[in-house]
Amino acid sequence: MIKSEPKSILQFLANHYELLRELFDLQVKNEIIRREQLYNSIKEYGSDLEVQLIEHKIVVEQNDDYVINEPYFVLFEFILQQFKPLLPEEIEKYGQSIRTLFFNIKEGINSDKNILVDRIEALSKEINKFTNSVKNNTQSLLYESKELKANSKKYEYQVKVHKARFWIENYIVPLNAILDVNHTQSIYNELLAISQFSNIKRFDYGDESIRRQFEKLYNLLRQVAKDINHQSSILTNELLPLIERIKTESEYLRGFHQYLTNGNCYKGIIPPSLFVSTRDNIYNPFVYENTKEYFEQFKNEDEVIVIEDNNYLTEWLFDRTEYKANLDKNLPLNDFFGWCENTIKQEKTDFTIDVFFMVTSLLFEDDYEVSVDEHKRKMTISTDSAELFMPWLNIKKRDYVSR
């Protein structure tokens, strides 16, 4: 059980990314994080972090050392797009489970519906895992092959060929066999068979809910076929001919590789300076492009985030009709300002001077006759910012005389 709040864990990951990245790199390099390595890293980033690393189960003990807990490790691999190439056996295991599940679905097609649904769902899950592992593997093999092509580490040609051969024999050719449409036993061909089967069953199966399950499976496989074709073309065009491709090498290619793999080429590396035309004639043939180019230069600016103050004041609106109706009900009055104060207070106890004067404006309505109190009495009204000394005013409905 993890005791920590999910939000605190995510916050921790964001706040201590550098430490976690360092631990991730250590584990990628050495398979484990040695106890002293963990303490050294923690010492560098903040000594109180050990408790949280353990509490959030980000690192777990392995004998005397530590490893990053698997779900976090997978998350880091994904967000850093840094996958360790999988051996063909690690991918082939999905082939086994896909074959078994498909066989069981076909065999038990008329048996219990619940187990059939469970098997279709499990099959979809395995297909997704298989596709993701192929995508990640192609990505990591591409990364390795591009590194080798750029030869950033300046290997001798023989060493480069040796490394290329290693990748091709152990990873690239076996992965290609898994995806090869001409290979009858390939997982790709198995997926095509499942796709054909689910395409038929989504129409002719007796039960509607099962038809829907086959429909979902069929749609998933349509996407998978596209994805795998793409991966397969990368293998054929770029990875299989690796030995041929590493024959050419130049500082240019190394530079392109460095530029394109920068990952942050929008901010990290400043491109060559380019002249900005200061004025354009409207009849210039490129005036449209120049104007567009001018505005587009601001497109990759950092976003400005305005954090709004949530404690804003709601504006008070004077409902003249309602206040007037209220006044009419209470007429005649001999203390108009006193009535104003009391009535406003019924709506809001802490009113401003502006609110008060808005309500007193009723005094100027044509319907009323106003006169000063014969005893010249005065009263005090307190608002949040002022104290007002007001006379007593008599107010009554005006008597209209028909002419």
Partner 1 sequence: MYPDEHKEIVTSLMEGKFITVVDVLFKTIKKNEEFYIDFFQKSFGFELIGTHDFYYLLSKETNENTSRDISIFFSILCYELDKEGKNFLDELNFSEFTLDEIIDYFKNSSWSDVIKANKQLSSVENIKKLIGTTLVKRNIAVKQNNERYIFTKAHKLFIDFAKDLVNKEQPS
Which residues in this chain contact partner 1 in the complex, by CB under 8 A?
142, 146, 233-234, 237-238, 244-245, 248, 250-260, 262, 264-266, 268-278, 284, 286, 289-290, 293, 296-297, 299-300
Structure tokens of 311? 């404690």
Q: Residue 11 corresponds to which amino acid?
A: Q
CB 66 within 8 A of CB 19: no
Best CA proximity match to 214, nearest among 130, 99, 116, 110: 116
CB atoms closer than 10 angstroms to residue 200: 11
Q: Which is nearer to partner 1, 301 or 350 (CB)?
A: 301
- R_g of the chain, CA atoms, integer Å: 38
Of the two residues 189 and 290, which places its CB atom closer to partner 1 in the complex?
Answer: 290
Name the residue nearer to partner 1 (CB basis): 138 or 195: 138
Rounded CA-CA distance 370/323 in Å is 17
Q: Work out how close the CB of 275 gets to partner 1 at its nearest, in angstroms, rounded to a whole number.
A: 4
Amino acid at 319: D
Q: 125-139 in b/e burial notation, b at 16+ Cβ within 10 A? A: ebbeebbebbbbbbb
Nearest to 36 by CA among 46, 26, 48, 28: 26
CB 343 within 8 A of CB 358: no
Distance set, CA 309 to CA 23, 312, 313, 315 (Å): 38, 6, 10, 15
In a 13 Å sphere around the CA of 343, the CA atoms on its Cβ side amount to: 25
Q: Give me the least distance between CB of 77 and partner 1, in Å please.
A: 16
Q: Residue 90 corresponds to which tokens in the numbers above?
A: 């690690």
CA dihedral 107, 113, 116, 118 (to 10 degrees): -160
Element (H, E) at 242: helix 242-245
β pairing state of 387-391 and 65-68: unpaired
Nearer to partner 1, 255 or 391 (CB): 255
- Distance in Å, CB of 231 to partner 1, minimum: 10
The nearest distance, CB 24 to partner 1, in angstroms, is: 17
By three-state DSSP, how is residue 48 classified? coil
Q: In angstroms, what is the minimal distance from the CB of 42 to partner 1? A: 24
Q: Which is nearer to partner 1, 209 or 297 (CB)?
A: 297
- Nearest distance from C-beta of residue 55 to partner 1, angstroms: 32
Q: Which is nearer to partner 1, 296 or 322 (CB)?
A: 296
Q: Decide whether 124 or 151 has the Cβ nearer to partner 1.
A: 151
Task: Provide the minimum distance between the beta carbon of 93 and partner 1 in the complex, in angstroms, as a whole number.
Answer: 27
Report the residue number, 48 or 302, with the smaller CB distance to partner 1: 302
* Nearest distance, CB of residue 307 and partner 1, angstroms: 28
Q: Return the SS3 of 279.
A: coil
Report the residue number, 270 or 306, with the smaller CB distance to partner 1.
Answer: 270
